[in-house]
Amino acid sequence: MIDTVVIATDGSACVQRAVRVALDLADRFDATVHALSVVEESEISSAPEDVRDQLRTALEAHCEEAVEGLAADAERPVVTAVREGRPSVEIGAYAREVDADVVATGTRGRHGENRLLVGSVAEQVVRTCPVPVLTVRRLDEGETNEVTG
Protein backbone atom coordinates (compact mmCIF):
# COMPACT_ATOMS: atom_id res chain seq x y z
CA MET A 1 0.00 0.00 0.00
CA ILE A 2 1.25 3.46 -0.83
CA ASP A 3 0.09 6.14 1.59
CA THR A 4 2.73 8.86 1.13
CA VAL A 5 4.51 9.92 -2.05
CA VAL A 6 7.38 12.42 -2.06
CA ILE A 7 8.02 14.07 -5.41
CA ALA A 8 11.48 15.59 -5.69
CA THR A 9 11.48 18.42 -8.20
CA ASP A 10 13.74 21.19 -9.37
CA GLY A 11 11.04 22.72 -11.54
CA SER A 12 12.78 21.88 -14.80
CA ALA A 13 11.03 20.59 -17.89
CA CYS A 14 13.03 17.36 -17.50
CA VAL A 15 11.13 16.36 -14.36
CA GLN A 16 7.61 17.09 -15.62
CA ARG A 17 6.98 13.52 -16.76
CA ALA A 18 8.14 12.24 -13.36
CA VAL A 19 5.72 14.64 -11.68
CA ARG A 20 2.82 13.41 -13.83
CA VAL A 21 3.66 9.75 -13.18
CA ALA A 22 4.01 10.33 -9.43
CA LEU A 23 0.73 12.26 -9.21
CA ASP A 24 -1.00 9.45 -11.12
CA LEU A 25 0.45 6.93 -8.67
CA ALA A 26 -0.75 9.02 -5.73
CA ASP A 27 -4.23 9.29 -7.26
CA ARG A 28 -4.44 5.53 -7.75
CA PHE A 29 -3.64 4.89 -4.09
CA ASP A 30 -5.29 8.03 -2.70
CA ALA A 31 -1.92 8.85 -1.17
CA THR A 32 -0.71 12.03 0.48
CA VAL A 33 1.62 13.98 -1.83
CA HIS A 34 4.67 15.96 -0.74
CA ALA A 35 6.55 18.16 -3.22
CA LEU A 36 10.16 18.75 -2.22
CA SER A 37 12.79 20.96 -3.81
CA VAL A 38 16.33 21.37 -2.52
CA VAL A 39 18.57 24.40 -2.81
CA GLU A 40 21.94 22.85 -3.55
CA GLU A 41 24.38 24.19 -0.97
CA SER A 42 27.38 23.56 -3.21
CA GLU A 43 26.05 26.06 -5.74
CA ILE A 44 25.99 28.72 -3.04
CA SER A 45 29.30 27.88 -1.40
CA SER A 46 31.13 27.84 -4.75
CA ALA A 47 29.86 31.32 -5.68
CA PRO A 48 31.84 34.47 -4.87
CA GLU A 49 31.16 35.50 -1.29
CA ASP A 50 29.71 38.89 -2.22
CA VAL A 51 26.87 37.31 -4.23
CA ARG A 52 26.03 34.30 -2.05
CA ASP A 53 23.08 35.91 -0.28
CA GLN A 54 21.56 37.04 -3.58
CA LEU A 55 22.15 33.62 -5.10
CA ARG A 56 20.58 31.86 -2.09
CA THR A 57 17.53 34.11 -2.34
CA ALA A 58 17.19 33.45 -6.08
CA LEU A 59 17.60 29.69 -5.69
CA GLU A 60 15.10 29.58 -2.81
CA ALA A 61 12.60 31.51 -4.94
CA HIS A 62 13.15 29.07 -7.82
CA CYS A 63 12.55 26.11 -5.50
CA GLU A 64 9.41 27.72 -4.06
CA GLU A 65 8.10 28.25 -7.60
CA ALA A 66 8.85 24.61 -8.42
CA VAL A 67 6.89 23.14 -5.52
CA GLU A 68 4.07 25.69 -5.73
CA GLY A 69 3.75 25.06 -9.47
CA LEU A 70 3.54 21.33 -8.83
CA ALA A 71 0.89 21.90 -6.17
CA ALA A 72 -1.12 24.17 -8.47
CA ASP A 73 -1.10 21.55 -11.24
CA ALA A 74 -2.17 18.69 -8.96
CA GLU A 75 -5.79 17.69 -8.56
CA ARG A 76 -5.24 16.90 -4.90
CA PRO A 77 -3.73 18.72 -1.92
CA VAL A 78 0.07 18.79 -1.92
CA VAL A 79 2.34 19.49 1.04
CA THR A 80 5.26 21.62 -0.15
CA ALA A 81 8.74 21.93 1.30
CA VAL A 82 12.02 23.61 0.37
CA ARG A 83 15.27 22.52 1.97
CA GLU A 84 18.88 23.55 1.63
CA GLY A 85 21.75 21.09 1.53
CA ARG A 86 22.97 18.22 -0.56
CA PRO A 87 19.91 17.12 -2.57
CA SER A 88 20.29 13.36 -2.16
CA VAL A 89 20.81 13.69 1.58
CA GLU A 90 17.91 16.11 2.05
CA ILE A 91 15.55 13.99 -0.06
CA GLY A 92 16.35 10.89 2.01
CA ALA A 93 16.00 12.78 5.28
CA TYR A 94 12.67 14.27 4.23
CA ALA A 95 11.39 10.85 3.14
CA ARG A 96 12.21 9.50 6.61
CA GLU A 97 10.58 12.49 8.34
CA VAL A 98 7.26 12.09 6.55
CA ASP A 99 7.38 8.28 6.59
CA ALA A 100 7.21 8.15 2.79
CA ASP A 101 6.40 4.93 0.99
CA VAL A 102 8.06 6.06 -2.23
CA VAL A 103 10.13 8.95 -3.58
CA ALA A 104 9.65 9.91 -7.22
CA THR A 105 12.20 11.84 -9.24
CA GLY A 106 13.25 12.48 -12.80
CA THR A 107 16.50 11.07 -14.10
CA ARG A 108 17.71 14.47 -15.29
CA GLY A 109 17.12 17.87 -13.84
CA ARG A 110 18.25 21.44 -14.11
CA HIS A 111 21.84 20.47 -14.82
CA GLY A 112 20.88 18.02 -17.57
CA GLU A 113 23.64 16.18 -19.38
CA ASN A 114 26.43 17.88 -17.38
CA ARG A 115 25.53 15.68 -14.42
CA LEU A 116 26.66 12.58 -16.31
CA LEU A 117 30.23 13.61 -15.56
CA VAL A 118 29.86 13.71 -11.77
CA GLY A 119 26.88 11.45 -11.10
CA SER A 120 23.27 12.50 -11.03
CA VAL A 121 21.16 13.43 -8.04
CA ALA A 122 18.73 10.69 -9.08
CA GLU A 123 21.50 8.09 -8.98
CA GLN A 124 22.59 9.26 -5.52
CA VAL A 125 18.99 9.17 -4.28
CA VAL A 126 18.55 5.61 -5.59
CA ARG A 127 21.72 4.52 -3.83
CA THR A 128 21.07 6.21 -0.47
CA CYS A 129 17.34 6.76 0.04
CA PRO A 130 15.83 4.69 2.85
CA VAL A 131 12.60 4.10 0.88
CA PRO A 132 11.92 2.84 -2.66
CA VAL A 133 12.66 5.36 -5.41
CA LEU A 134 10.70 5.67 -8.63
CA THR A 135 12.86 7.25 -11.34
CA VAL A 136 11.15 8.45 -14.48
CA ARG A 137 13.15 9.44 -17.51
CA ARG A 138 12.17 12.22 -19.83
CA LEU A 139 11.04 10.95 -23.21
CA ASP A 140 13.12 11.96 -26.19
CA GLU A 141 11.44 13.81 -29.01
CA GLY A 142 9.31 11.40 -31.02
CA GLU A 143 8.99 8.80 -28.23
CA THR A 144 5.58 7.98 -26.87
CA ASN A 145 4.34 6.64 -23.56
CA GLU A 146 2.83 3.60 -25.25
CA VAL A 147 4.22 0.18 -24.47
CA THR A 148 5.09 -1.77 -27.57
CA GLY A 149 5.12 -5.49 -27.58
Q: In the chain, pLDDT over 90 holds for what percent of residues?
A: 72
Contact 108, 13 (CB under 8 A): no
pLDDT of residue 55: 94
> What digits encode the pLDDT tens for the residues 88-122?
999 999 999 999 999 999 986 544 444 443 358 88
| Alpha-carbon separation of residue 55 from 19, 58, 100, 119 (angstroms) | 26, 5, 31, 23
Residues whose CB is less than 8 angstroms from the CB of residue 54 and which lie 6 or more positions away in sequence, other chains included? none
- The contacts of residue 44 (CB under 8 Å, 6+ apart) are 52, 55, 56, 59, 84
Domains of the chain: 4-136 (3.40.50.12370)
Using 50, 70 and 90 to split pLDDT, how confident is the model at 81? very high
Q: What predicted TM-score, i.e. pTM, was given to this entire model?
A: 0.85
- Mind listing the pLDDT tens digit for each residue in 27-72? 999 999 999 999 999 999 999 999 999 999 999 999 999 999 999 9
Q: What pLDDT score was predicted for residue 108?
A: 64
